Chain A
């Protein structure tokens, strides 16, 4: 069945803005993502050098050693702009709210085996500080990076990491209470098993090359930490030993990691494909960061896995190396 509404048809003079048209192969219909992203950042005639970093222009491609002919070659496969990002997260938040309600209303938190609960808390609560560090680093990349195509998604990513830090905090508040958060912070600051990771995170805070920081934080640290903690330990190990409530309270993290991995891979792949120099540089960063992170994660995996921690880390490392090779890196 077909109905035909009569509307006034007027011919447009053009389809989109010039800053978009030059990057999509001419004046044609552009998507919301494209109009919200392509060429949005100023790139010429800055009036004053930043007093806080006078060696550079306000936005300056020289703040990283990576070189790109076109900084808008970076694309987000999710096509996120603020609107669809926040609507996507709102839907996920609804699901997470139901999970928290479900665990609380059915008393699943109280039903957790005591030993498993202690392990989960020891493992997960200090990670809220790691997510907080990821929040800071992604705002660094957003502030000092070049081109909206990569900087805007980093601001979404930073807010996501704040959301994750808050979900972990809520988990701690639900399962125990504020004292558990204080204890976990002490562990983060003092316990030997956390110091390798804290050292790595604090070093990342002073990394000035924003693309190197992207590699250190989003590709390497989170690329090893999320599969290890949330897939291998929470979803497999803990869930199989009576801890499905924990898996419900961290469901966002697994789902989110699967989504953002596609975006992170696309950035690495694009930068590496640009030139042999980029590929070499990124590969060398990845090798150095990877070895530090793997060593730092081992004692943490040990909290939950004991003797089989090394095996789990090796497994995750193997997957990570395969992933890196697929993106064109030699690691």
Chain B
């Protein structure tokens, strides 16, 4: 062979192919089905992995260079933020509660995404798909770690962040995001990427990540917003990957379409339910509001999402089943969620409060169809009670939806004054659901969802008390025993914002600094 003759200038695509898929080979000492054992049982048919289009032709040299540059800038700002007590620059100490929700509920999911993409980044038969997933895996580790480093400074001065790992795996409301990701990771690799890359990253990122980061920008949180900007280019790569994955699977075989459609129905609804926490953060927890949940849903859901599903119609894909219901609920979601957390403020690891006069007026303006009629009276009633020294704390445990694990707080789509209950029987046990869609998800895979570690059930079964606690003792206080098991700093991590240690410290430090 005349080797010199073959030395020619390669096109970018060809060069990238040599640097990725060219590395791969068909194994013969071990059968391919044993080397890649998990990509067949879901029923997805892939005929030709070479049809995979690399959405971003990123080689490791470019990746290191680009990411290293971003990290250098980010850590310079995190350092400056810590040195200058940047936390005192936020709009109001109430804002810090959104960071508690973030580190308790969202950062642990970044970590799970890291491990989940490591799994599919090893398992996909196609080399280029593996490389794309591997890059996302380390990106997600980046996000988990930089979030720890950003929030670390707040954790030194405020409550409700110090034991996020322990809480995420035990506390009642945190089983909502935890079970969401466990569900995706315990599914097959194709369902995982449809769930996370497509439904979560592509369809819902603008309703999850963006509201937190915009909230940080509006409320003077330089540390978090810098992280947000730094992660933005990673996120847009992940979204691009999400779209490529879905197109690739759909184009490979028509038999894939109904499977993918069912996953989209399921994962849109699972993701949307997790966003309940975000909706109340936007409408109730941000002292300076960015936009209402309803507006966000209209822009990022109805408009952008609508356009996306119009594009996918050519593959035979329709909008996820729960879409219409999400649109109906946009007037109610955040109010019902915040009212529930206000109720359970003794058992939550962030502070709750009734909206200020200014907040209430904003909510009336943003929610003309629902706030004044249904929700203002409720908050004003609680406000009145609190003024009389009778701040309401609910001490009974709520029933949870077996699928999304949210307390049964949502109302009927057709009647916002009536709680929605659904149920299914499976092997002589009864299971409860907050909605038709959660029931449908269960009914399709009951053997999976009967395994759910439902926090309320676990409490009643006696699995959420510290060793040595005697539930038969005459002075036994079950709620207090559960909060001890949670490792909550009782009186510091929980209760109303009014009178909290966070509130006092922020005011005092602010006064000294000014």
Chain A residues with CB under 8 A of B67? 86, 90
What is the chain A residue whose CB lies nearest that of B191? A51
Chain A residues contacting B250 (CB-CB under 8 Å) are: none
Q: With A83-B146, A90-B68, A155-B114 known to touch, is A143 a contact of B119 (CB < 8 Å)?
A: yes
Q: List 28 A-B contacts (CB under 8 A).
A: A7-B85, A8-B513, A10-B85, A14-B156, A17-B155, A17-B165, A18-B163, A18-B166, A19-B164, A36-B148, A41-B115, A47-B186, A48-B183, A58-B185, A82-B71, A82-B141, A83-B71, A83-B74, A129-B25, A131-B23, A143-B115, A159-B63, A159-B134, A169-B22, A177-B3, A189-B25, A198-B29, A202-B27
Q: Give the interface residue-count category, chain A.
A: 35 or more
Given contacts A83-B146, A178-B6, contact A188 B25 (CB under 8 A): yes
List the one stretch of A160-168, A232-240, A274-282 in contact with chain B: A160-168
Contact B118 A18 (CB under 8 A): no
Q: Which B residues fall within an 8 A CB radius of A?
A: 1, 3-4, 6-8, 10, 14-15, 18-19, 22-25, 27-30, 34-35, 37-38, 41, 59-61, 63-65, 67-69, 71-72, 74-75, 84-85, 88, 108, 111-112, 114-115, 118-119, 121-122, 130-131, 134-135, 137-138, 141-142, 144-146, 148-149, 152, 155-159, 161-166, 168-170, 175, 178-179, 182-183, 185-189, 448-449, 451-453, 458, 487, 505, 509, 512-513
Give A121-139 interface residues, CB cut-off 8 Å to B.
128-129, 131-132, 135-136, 139
Instruction: State the Cβ distance, A118 to closest chain B Cβ, in Å.
Output: 8
- The answer for the CA separation of A36 and B72 in the assembled complex, in Å, is 16
Name A58's contact: one of B18, B158, B186, B449 (CB within 8 Å): B186
Which of B68, B108, B170 is the one whose CB lies under 8 Å from A89?
A: B68
Chain B residues with CB under 8 A of A151: 115, 118
Structural contact, A81 and B59, CB atoms closer than 8 A? no
Q: Are B165 and A179 in contact (CB under 8 A)?
A: no
Residues on A with beta carbons closer than 8 Å to the beta carbon of B1: 179, 183
Q: What is the CA–CA distance of A89 and B175 in the complex, to the nearest angstrom?
A: 38
Which A-B residue pairs are the 10 nearest by beta carbons? A90-B68, A179-B6, A163-B60, A177-B7, A12-B156, A36-B145, A132-B23, A177-B6, A143-B119, A143-B118
Q: Let me know if A199 is at the binding interface, CB within 8 A.
A: yes
Known contacts A49-B186, A87-B72, A128-B23: A8-B115 contact under CB 8 Å: no
Query: Which positions 8-37 of chain A face chain B at CB distance < 8 Å?
Result: 8, 10, 12-19, 32, 35-36
**In the assembly, what is the distance between CA of A313 and CA of B5, in Å?**
36
Chain A residue with minimal CB distance to B70? A86
Q: Is the CB of A181 within 8 A of B134?
A: no
Q: How far is the CA of A179 from the CA of B38 in the complex (A)?
A: 34
Chain A nearest CB from B18 CB (Å) reads 6
Let me know if B137 and A142 touch, CB within 8 A. yes
B contact residues around A8 at 8 Å (CB): 85, 88, 509, 512-513
Contact of A163 among B64, B148, B163, B186 (CB under 8 A): B64
**B156 close to A15 (CB less than 8 A):** yes
A216: CB under 8 A from chain B? Answer: no
Q: Which A positions have Cβ atoms within 8 angstroms of B? A: 7-8, 10, 12-19, 32, 35-36, 39-52, 58-59, 81-83, 86-87, 89-94, 96-97, 128-129, 131-132, 135-136, 139-140, 142-144, 148, 151-152, 155-156, 158-160, 162-163, 165-166, 169-170, 173, 176-181, 183, 185, 188-189, 198-199, 202-203, 205-206
Q: A176, B169: Cβ atoms under 8 Å? A: no
- Closest A residue to B156 using CB positions: A12
Q: How far is the CA of A56 from the CA of B180 in the complex (A)?
A: 19
Instruction: Judge whether B155 and A16 touch: CB under 8 Å.
Output: yes
CA distance A179 to B10 in the complex (A): 12
Complex Cα gap A97–B60 (Å):
12
B316 CB → nearest A CB, Å: 26
The docked-state distance in angstroms from the alpha carbon of A96 to that of B60 is 12
| Distance in angstroms between the alpha carbons of A152 and B140 in the assembled complex | 11
Instruction: Please measure, in the bound complex, the distance between the C-alpha atom of A244 and the C-alpha atom of B68, giving whole angstroms.
Output: 29
Give the shortest distance, in Å, between B187 (CB) and chain A (any CB). Answer: 6
CB-based contact A185/B451 at 8 Å: no
Dominant SS among interface residues on chain B: helix
CA of A142 to CA of B351, assembled, Å:
37
CA distance A148 to B512 in the complex (A): 40
With a 10 A CB-CB cut-off, give which of A94, A135, A155, A163 has the most chain B CB atoms.
A155
Return the chain B residue nearest A182 by Cβ: B22
Q: Which B residue sits closest to A163, measured CB to CB?
A: B60
Name the CB-closest residue of B to A156: B138
Contacts of A52 in B (CB 8 A): 37-38, 41, 186, 188-189
Residues of A within 8 A of B144 (CB): 36, 40
In-complex Cβ contact of B24 among A18, A58, A92, A132 (8 A)? A132
Q: Which residues of A contact B145 (CB under 8 A)?
A: 36, 40, 81-83
Do the beta carbons of B134 and A140 come within 8 Å of each other?
Answer: no
In the complex, are the beta carbons of B155 and A42 less than 8 A apart?
no
Of chain B, the residue at the smallest CB distance from A170 is B19
Of the candidates A43, A86, A158, A189, which one forms a contact with B169 in the assembled complex, judged by CB atoms under 8 Å apart?
A43
B187: A residues at CB distance < 8 A = 51
Q: How far is the CB of B163 from chain A (nearest CB, A)?
A: 4
Determine the distance from Cα of A151 to Cα of B137 in the docked complex, in whole angstroms: 12
In the bound complex, residues from chain B placing their C-beta under 8 Å from that of A132 are 23-24
Max chain B C-beta neighbours (<10 A), residue from A45, A48, A128, A142: A48
* Residues of B close to A144: CB separation below 8 A: 119
Q: Which residue of A lies closest to B83 (CB)?
A: A7
**B67, B85, B135, most chain A CB atoms within 10 A:** B67
A90 and B118 in contact, given A179-B1, A189-B25 (Cβ under 8 angstroms)? no
Cβ 8 A contact of A42, one of B59, B63, B134, B178: B178
User: Shortest CB–CB separation between residue A208 and chain B, in angstroms?
Assistant: 10
Return the contact of B512 from the options A10, A188, A205 (Cβ within 8 A). Answer: A10
Residues in B neighbouring A49, C-beta threshold 8 A: 186, 451
A58–B135 alpha-carbon span in the complex (Å): 21
B395 to chain A, nearest CB (A): 23
Known contacts being A47-B183, A178-B6, is A139 close to B163, with CB within 8 Å? Answer: no
Which A residues lie within 8 Å of B6 (CB)?
Answer: 176-180
Tell me whether B10 and A173 are in contact (CB under 8 A): yes
> Do residues A169 and B19 form an inter-chain contact, with CB atoms below 8 A?
yes
